[in-house]
A and B are shown apart, each in its own frame.
Chain A
Amino acid sequence: MMNSRIIEIVVGMFVAIGLGAFFFLAMYVSSSSAGSSSGYTVSARFENIGSLKTRSPVTMSGVLVGRVDTVSYDMERYEAVVTMTIQEDFNAIPTDTTASVYTAGLLGEQYVALEPGGEEEYLKEGDEISLTQSALVLEKVIGQVLFSKAEEGAEDNTDADEGF
């Protein structure tokens, strides 16, 4: 009888620490996306969204306020349409808010940053953010820098020619 009691106690401990490990993985190693389901959705149109994807973060002043729901393309206006879910707690975002696509770090993931405007009216379910700023494409920026450098170089050369 004693023996079976010990086995039961050990099995109980095994199940308990197994479940404990699962909760450790749930609470400390990962974060839940359950909170994103409750909230309201707004959409925004961008010329270029870079590599923005579903579940990319939406932030205000760097604080996470929501997630990107869908990314689609509007064939009539040739623009990308991004819908995002904002958490319920952040329900006082002015209608003239600017949405921009930024990159976290030099090679990091892309996210939507919201910068609030000064309107008295707030965004509601289904509203569209009209002020947007597209993602910077690194190649375009580098191309522009190279182009302007080349122009400067050409001007220097003509100056030198005139000096003779």
Chain B
Amino acid sequence: MWVLDKLQAIGKSSLGIFERFGRATIFLFHVLSGIGSLITRPQLLVCQLFFVGVLSLLIILISGLFVGMVLALQGYYILSHFGAEQTLGVMVAASLVRELGPVVSALLFSGRAGSALTAEIGLMRATEQLSGIEMMAVNPIHRIIAPRFWAGVISMPLLASLFSSLGVLGGYFVGVLLLGVDDGAFWSQMQSKLDFYDDVLNGVIKSIIFGFAVTWIAIFEGYDAIPTSEGVSRATTRTVVYSAFAILGLDFVLTALMFGN
């Protein structure tokens, strides 16, 4: 009997996970079908781009700069053992453009913008604002959720590109100006070893997929939150945790697909 009880508990919780995932997918289709209202009212999207993208700029730019500087310091330490300081630029740029740019900026984005989206939508639900909008015959998913979703998907590649660029400049600052790596070798080696399609474009595709995943999780957790203070706080926590899982898991799969051979 004890075994049956345990089995029932496992079955119940896995059915719950599947049911939640199913609801999230149906919700995503509703959000995607709301793209028409954005074309007629682009003002909504611009406003959300400000809250989701522009307000995340500062943390992304500063983190990118420091990540690039640390990479250059650590890379120089290792590479100087082999007399290969000239390849410092390649190391910094490749690791930023391929991995750290998309992944770290997506993690920061989920902490900065994803949690805010969840809390905002969750509180709208808790205070029945979404129902109020529906009472006025306005679809809340089209009016409230869809602009936030697309703002996240559009902001993410832009933020990741900025993160990588600032990181390369930070690496240049530490490597060339402080540690004395040759200026020309830094840029020319970087340029010849990194490919636009293989490295830069794949990094941007990664960040678009991360932006999609993070924003989807954030808006669904907010929409699906239990409409109490505690429910909203739990949903916000879940957003950050699930986003981190999704980003790192997807990153492994995407890296294996893109750079596997």
Q: Please, how many residues of chain B have a CB less than 8 angstroms from a CB on the other chain? A: 33
Given the interface contacts A30-B196, A32-B195, A32-B196, does A7 sit within 8 Å of B158 by beta carbon?
A: no
Beta-carbon contact of A18 and B196 below 8 Å: no
**Stretch in B7-15, B25-33, B46-54 with 4+ CB within 8 Å of A:** B46-54
Q: Please, how many residues of chain A have a CB less than 8 angstroms from a CB on the other chain? A: 22
Interface of chain B, main secondary structure:
helix
Beta-carbon contact of A25 and B158 below 8 Å: no
Is B199 close to A, CB under 8 A?
yes
Q: Mark B185-196, 1 if CB is under 8 A from A, else 0.
A: 001001110111
- In chain A, positions 9-51 with a C-beta closer than 8 Å to chain B are 10-11, 14-15, 17-19, 21-22, 24-26, 28-34
Q: Mark B90-112, 1 if CB is under 8 A from A, else 0.
A: 00010001000000000000000
Is B200 close to A, CB under 8 A?
yes
Instruction: Tell me how far the C-beta of B254 lies from the nearest C-beta in chain A, rounded to whole angstroms.
Output: 18
Number of residue pairs across A and B with beta carbons under 8 Å? 89
Is B204 close to A, CB under 8 A?
yes
Closest residue on chain A to residue B164 by CB atoms: A25
Instruction: Tell me how far the C-beta of A22 lies from the nearest C-beta in chain B, rounded to whole angstroms.
Output: 4
Given the interface contacts A30-B191, A30-B194, A33-B195, does A11 sit within 8 Å of B49 by beta carbon?
A: yes
Is B168 close to A, CB under 8 A?
yes
How far apart are the CA atoms of A24 and B166 in the complex, in Å?
10
How far apart are the CA atoms of A8 and B192 in the complex, in Å?
38
24 A–B pairs (Cβ distance < 8 Å), ordered by A = A4-B47, A7-B47, A14-B54, A14-B57, A14-B155, A18-B155, A18-B162, A19-B158, A19-B161, A21-B164, A21-B166, A22-B161, A25-B161, A25-B168, A29-B164, A29-B165, A29-B191, A29-B200, A30-B93, A30-B190, A30-B191, A31-B196, A33-B196, A33-B197
Query: Which of A's residues lie within 8 Å of B, judged by CB?
Result: 4, 7-8, 10-11, 14-15, 17-19, 21-22, 24-26, 28-34
Q: Apart from A19-B158, A25-B168, A30-B200, what are 12 other A-B pairs with CB-CB below 8 Å? A: A4-B47, A7-B50, A10-B50, A15-B158, A22-B157, A22-B200, A24-B168, A25-B203, A29-B93, A29-B164, A29-B200, A31-B194
